[in-house]
Chain A
Amino acid sequence: MTTLIYTILTLCIIGVVAAVVLYFIAQKFKVEEDPRIDETEKMLPGANCGGCGFPGCRGLATALVESDDISALYCSVGGEECMGKIAQYLGKAAPKKEPQVATVRCGGSCEKRPKTNSYNGSSSCAIASALYAGETGCAYGCLGYGDCVEACAFDAIHINPETGLAEVDADKCTACGACVKACPKGIIELRKRWPKNRAIYVSCVSKDKGAVTMKACKAGCIGCRKCEKVCEFGAITVENNVAFIDSTKCRLCRKCVGECPTGAIRMIGLQPLVKKEEVKEEK
């Protein structure tokens, strides 16, 4: 019994002594930190996705507190609301950025883009693309092994088993850009987010000549420039045999969609434009 008491007492004394020593050491070596950093970090979404370019939310919070001009710092996950709150708290001008969404620019689904060989290596886009062009005749298209799915911290991108292509869930996407970096083919782009997730984009990045693209994929951009000519806003440019729609200039007029001979220009959340002649005929 006495052994037990002595043991408990000894341990208690050690505990108390250690606590006192540690208290004074903690006081002596205390790191002075701006309390606003903690507060700002709490206001950030806490996703730690790295989309802002800092290692985690605390990194961005520190930068927000320490720099005078915060116009270049932005958390795309929190968006305008979150940044406004932080700017108000810190008494600085709120950074503004158009909301964005990740877009997979490949429309070469299994039926449009037939397989020419089969891959038996590691299920990773990075490895497959370092080895060869891919299972189809197109060297630019989506490989479908899901490096982007692995990179996404928000469960917003998935491989559709029917098409074999990556698809973004626009409601979940925070435009952190992790998938953009993960894609070895450079297919994914951050584009302007329209209300109701509407979008018009060229779902092809193939730089091959039209004839080559057409042979490999029925949904590829052949660089025919029809869309470039019809666009009234100068939003479409054709370079290296592939069209690109600048989402900041596009007004969603839908004229280009009807012009595209291969259907490479995709439209989401919009009704196809009815041509004027057809309207007359109906009357």
Chain B
Amino acid sequence: MAKTFPIGGVHPSDNKQWSKSSAIETMELPDVVNIPLSQHIGTPATAIVKKGDKVVVGQKIAEATGFMSANIHAPISGTVTAVDLQPNGQGIRQMMITIKREDDVWDEAIDRSETLVTECNLEPKAIVEKIKDAGIVGMGGATFPTHVKLSIPEGKRAEILIINGVECEPYLTSDYRTMLERGEQLIVGTRILMRAIGVTNAVIGVEANKPDAVKHLQAIVGAATDIKVQMLKTQYPQGGEKQLIAAVTGRQVPAPPALPIDVGAVVCNASTAVAVYEAVQKNKPLIERVVTVTGAAVPSPKNLLTRFGTPVEALIAKCGGLAEGDVKVINGGPMMGRALSNIAMPVMKGCSGITIMVGSATVRGVESACIKCAKCVEACPMGLEPYLLSKQARKRAWDAMEANDITSCIECGCCQFTCPANIPLLDYVRLGKQTVMGIIRARNMKK
């Protein structure tokens, strides 16, 4: 019996069939890229190039502002044509660096050979420093700066490293293809991460709908006992950080502000582990990632190795273009993703996939009254009461929401998925969470 998290969860149809068998293809280099300065959680990076500067691939173009931030590197070589406000995927204007491509010249320090370098004798601190320099952030979608995760606070100790290869989000297959095609790098990356946080055992969690990935990784690990490949039940949100820790170790991460490290766990995404390998062993900063472009009406769904800054519309065109009529383009998968109002949005560090919905799938069902069936309560993997929280958010009862642990919400969307009355539970819960977090921050500032 495959392991799973203890409460809640839903079973959406995984719809990975369209893109799971297409091998990773390299996307053509874009002529112009827009690189947002905020591609991660935390403070936006500070641009260190200006209009007219020449850059090469892998050159640092923006520097982390403080600890909770990440460096950004040029994904293409060419001339910086602007550092200005540009609309992001949500139509909101953000600072972006625009680079016009000239050729494909790489920074000389980057090792572009295919040879696998397994040996790593760096000190843990040096590894974290290299990861920080490379601007690596969590590539599962939350984009939490990896170096922050690996800097274990004093008085706390990491006991286990968990590599998140679950990819529980329906439709997406970028992590799956990465595990299959770049498994060797992933395992080396895992060992580097283990060294960085000083643990001797790691678990790679993979959902049961990817048995070939489990087999493949197991074969690479072979007889070694430091890394265990653990098959987990196919259940959403198995890949949620807290759910994964609970499934693998049986430990519950307490309510915020507690972090996984409080139960001795550090969780990194599978693609992040590969990026760590490239950064530490090959000096290659984070400049590209695998993006799944999929959906029922996509003519040829693909997994594309894409340089950051490539517009999403170019990826869609590569996969056969958009269908006629109503279309919903989602950055990410259908559960956690966000619909785009601007498909010129550049691909960013956290962009694991583009899901395209057509026809009736683009619109929500008609909302009706809550019948108190408690399906949302049953589905919530954090043990919250979404129907109650959403009501309190509508009434703006923020203090009551705080008392009901709104800050524990992981915004997985199980409640809204399961609601038979089509109530936009998550919309209101998220509004409440944002407001309550703001109130808590303001309160802490006063202290």
By a beta-carbon cutoff of 8 Å, the part of chain A in contact with chain B is: 116-117, 120-122, 124, 126-127, 130-135, 137, 139, 208, 212
Check if B431 sits within 8 Å of A130, measured CB to CB: yes
Complex interface: chain B residues within 8 A of A127 (CB): 424, 427-428, 430-431
> Do A120 and B91 have beta carbons less than 8 Å apart?
no
Which residues from A are CB-within-8-Å of B430? Answer: 127, 130
B341: which of A117, A130, A208 is its contact (CB, 8 Å)?
A: A117
* Given pairs A116-B341, A122-B424, A134-B91, 15 additional interface contacts (CB within 8 A): A120-B362, A120-B363, A120-B364, A124-B427, A124-B428, A127-B428, A130-B431, A130-B434, A131-B90, A133-B91, A133-B341, A135-B341, A139-B92, A208-B85, A212-B93
- Known interface pairs A116-B341, A208-B93. Does A133 touch B87 (Cβ–Cβ under 8 Å)? yes
Partner of B90, one of A120, A121, A132, A212: A132
Q: How far is the CA of A122 from the CA of B90 in the complex (A)?
A: 16
Residue in chain B with minimal CB distance to A132: B90
Chain A residues with Cβ under 8 A from B364's Cβ? 120-121
Minimum Cβ distance to chain A for residue B439 (Å) = 14
Q: How far is the CB of B89 from chain A (nearest CB, A)?
A: 8
Q: How far is the CB of B345 from chain A (nearest CB, A)?
A: 11
Q: Which 9 A-B pairs have the closest CB atoms?
A: A133-B91, A132-B90, A122-B427, A122-B424, A117-B341, A127-B427, A133-B92, A127-B431, A132-B341
Complex contacts, A121 vs chain B, CB 8 Å: 364, 424, 427
SS class, residues of chain B in contact with chain A: mixed
Complex Cα distance, B19 from A19, in Å, reads 79
Report the separation of the CA atoms of residues A208 and B93 in the bound assembly, to the nearest whole angstrom: 9
| Selected A-B contacts with CB under 8 Å, 24 pairs | A116-B91, A116-B341, A120-B363, A120-B364, A121-B424, A122-B424, A122-B427, A124-B427, A124-B428, A127-B424, A127-B427, A127-B428, A127-B430, A130-B430, A130-B434, A132-B338, A132-B341, A133-B91, A137-B91, A139-B87, A139-B92, A139-B93, A208-B85, A208-B93
Which residues from 76 to 129 on chain B have a C-beta closer than 8 Å to any C-beta of chain A?
Answer: 85, 87, 90-93
Q: Please give the distance in Å from A85's CB to the nearest CB on chain B.
A: 33
Could you say which residues of chain A place their CB within 8 Å of the CB of B341?
116-117, 132-133, 135
Q: Chain A's nearest CB lies how many Å from the CB of B213? A: 33
Chain A min CB distance to B227 (Å): 40
Instruction: Report A97 CB to chain B, min CB distance, Å.
Output: 27
Q: Tell whether, in the assembled complex, residue B428 and residue A122 are in contact, meaning their CB atoms are under 8 Å apart.
A: yes
Among A117, A122, A137, the most chain B Cβ lie within 10 Å of the Cβ of A122
> What residue of chain A has the Cβ atom nearest to residue B343's Cβ?
A117
Residues of B within 8 A of A130 (CB): 430-431, 434
Q: Name the residue on B nearest A208 (C-beta).
A: B93
In the complex with contacts A120-B363, A208-B93, A131-B338 CB distance below 8 A: yes
Within 8 A of A (CB), among B41-97: 85, 87, 90-93
- Residue from A121, A133, A137 whose CB has the most chain B CB atoms within 10 Å: A133
Chain B proximity of A15: nearest CB distance (Å): 39
- A-B CB pair tally, cutoff 8 Å: 47
Known: A132-B341, A133-B92, A133-B341. A126 touches B87 (CB 8 A): no
Residue of chain A at shortest CB distance from B91: A133
Closest A residue by C-beta to B326: A118
Q: In the docked arrangement, what's the CA distance between A130 and B424, Å?
A: 15
* Distance A134 CA – B434 CA, assembled complex (angstroms): 19
Instruction: Report the minimum CB–CB distance from A216 to chain B (whole Å).
Output: 9
Nearest opposing residue in chain A for B363, CB measure: A120
| A124–B430 alpha-carbon span in the complex (Å) | 13
Please report the C-alpha to C-alpha distance between residue A130 and residue B437 in the assembled complex, in whole angstroms: 14
Inter-chain contacts of B434 with A (CB < 8 A): 130
In the complex, A118→B3 CA distance in Å? 41
The residue of chain B having its C-beta at the shortest distance from the C-beta of A121 within the complex is B427
CA distance A139 to B94 in the complex (A): 12
- Chain B residues near A137: list those with CB within 8 A: 91
> Please, how many angstroms separate the alpha-carbon atoms of A113 and B362 in the complex?
24
Shortest distance from the beta carbon of B377 to any chain A beta carbon, whole Å: 20
Contact of A132 among B85, B92, B362 (CB under 8 A): B92
- Complex contacts, A124 vs chain B, CB 8 Å: 427-428, 431
Chain A residues with CB under 8 Å of B362's CB are 120
- Alpha-carbon separation in the docked complex, A139 to B90 (Å): 9
Which residues of chain A are near B93, meaning CB under 8 Å? 139, 208, 212
Provide the bound-state CA to CA distance between A127 and B390, in Å. Answer: 12
Q: Would you give the shortest CB distance from A130 to chain B, in whole angstroms?
A: 6
Which chain B residues numbered 408 to 447 have a C-beta less than 8 Å away from chain A?
Answer: 424, 427-428, 430-431, 434
- B contact residues around A134 at 8 Å (CB): 91
Residues on A with beta carbons closer than 8 Å to the beta carbon of B338 = 131-132
Could you tell me the distance between the alpha carbons of A117 and B87 in the complex, rounded to whole angstroms? Answer: 14
Specify the chain B residue showing the minimal Cβ separation from A116. Answer: B341
State A134–B430 Cα separation when bound (angstroms).
18
Chain A residues, Cβ within 8 Å of B90 = 131-133
- Least Cβ–Cβ distance between B423 and chain A, in angstroms: 9
Q: In the complex, which residues of chain A have a beta carbon less than 8 angstroms from the beta carbon of B87? A: 133, 139
**What is the bound-complex CA distance between A212 and B341, given in angstroms?**
16
Q: How far is the CA of A134 from the CA of B428 in the complex (A)?
A: 18
**Contact (Cβ within 8 A) B92 A126:** no
Q: Which residue of A lies closest to B86 (CB)?
A: A212
How far in angstroms is the closest Cβ of chain B from A113?
13
Chain A: CB-nearest residue to B341: A117
* Residues of chain B in range 335-349 having any CB-CB distance to chain A below 8 Å: 338-339, 341
- Complex CA–CA separation, A84 to B85 (angstroms): 51
Q: In angstroms, how far is the closest chain A Cβ from the Cβ of B440?
A: 17
Residues of B within 8 A of A139 (CB): 87, 91-93
- A residues near B339, Cβ cutoff 8 Å: 132
Which residues from chain B contact A126 at a C-beta distance below 8 Å? Answer: 431
Complex CA gap A126/B364 in Å reads 19
A120 to B327, CA, bound (A): 12
* Complex Cα spacing A54 to B92, Å: 36
Min distance, Cβ A35 to any Cβ of chain B, angstroms: 33
- In the bound complex, what is the Cα–Cα distance between A252 and B206 (angstroms)? 69
Q: How far is the CA of A134 from the CA of B93 in the complex (A)?
A: 12
Q: Considering the chains assembled together, what is the distance between the CA atoms of A116 and B87 in angstroms?
A: 13
